[in-house]
Structure 1
Amino acid sequence: MAEDITGSLVPGDHRVAIAVARFNEFITEHLLTAAVATWAQLGGSDENLTVARVPGSFELPVTAKHLAASGDYAAVICLGCVIRGETDHYDHVVEQTAKGIREVGTETGVPCIFGVLTCDTLEQAIHRAGAKMGNQGRSAMMAAVEMADLVERLRG
């Protein structure tokens, strides 16, 4: 039988950082609240959780890079909300933010979790921040904890 390596949802002594955008703060604060509550529910300690606030989603990758490169964190979560407007600005912000977050994880080996809502309308954002469709902040924290444990297991 093949070896099966899976991460657990136990924070243990892992440290996790959350970079959260202030733009669309009425949405991102709901994401952050859910992420922090999930951390506590999973048994994570307050001392092992760091929150860094950035102006907008476009600034998430550079902040994630500093956090990941510090060697202090087993995972970095990026929380933001980009809502489509009447120009193509949305497309540029979403594409570059996603690419940047992916690159940070690939370059540093530290899991960087994409918790950025990309929505066509404010109503969609509200639903994905906890009103109807779960909460992306909760999902991002669960992914971060699982990936931190998985990477530790892979490193032996």
Structure 2
Amino acid sequence: MGSRGLQVDENDRFERGEWVFERVAWAVMAVILVAALAGLFGGLGVFASRQASAAAGALTVEYPGLTRYTAKTDLQIITGTAAVSEGQVALTLSSDWVDGADISQVIPEPDTWESTPDGLRLTFPAGAAPPEVRISYRPDAIGPHPGTVTVGEAGPAVDFQQFVYP
């Protein structure tokens, strides 16, 4: 019984293509991992949380720089003593931001909600300390989502910019 060994046809062109595909796949996985660690997909990271402040510390807005379409998101507004007027703090959320957000909850509950030509005005009682306001919402528009928070009629204002992923 003679044995001629195992005969296997090799296709060098296919093997080179498979090798290139494998290397590209590894590079894509590495890019996705780095993006996730940077916070591009939410959670913690460089791009996950941003902060913008008005002069004199009257107003600070903490917000996610990147968020996902219809994902529950929080906007934190921290007011200083300069924001208090007659025992109240009035905050106006710009209409361009409100139009792209489905607000589900505001903590603490505002005394008044008022729709104005500039946007949504929320009035809060200011006790011993100015309130910290958390607005829970779901973005309902994809793409850039700019906003402005203003104290009072024409007080300090903070502009912020978010991007909503599909």
Q: Tell me, yes or no, whether TM beats 0.5.
A: no
Q: What TM-score comes out, normalization by structure 1 length?
A: 0.30
| Structure number with larger C-alpha Rg | 2
Higher strand share: 2
Q: Greater RCO between the two (CA within 8 Å, min separation 6)?
A: 1
Q: What TM-score comes out, normalization by structure 2 length?
A: 0.29
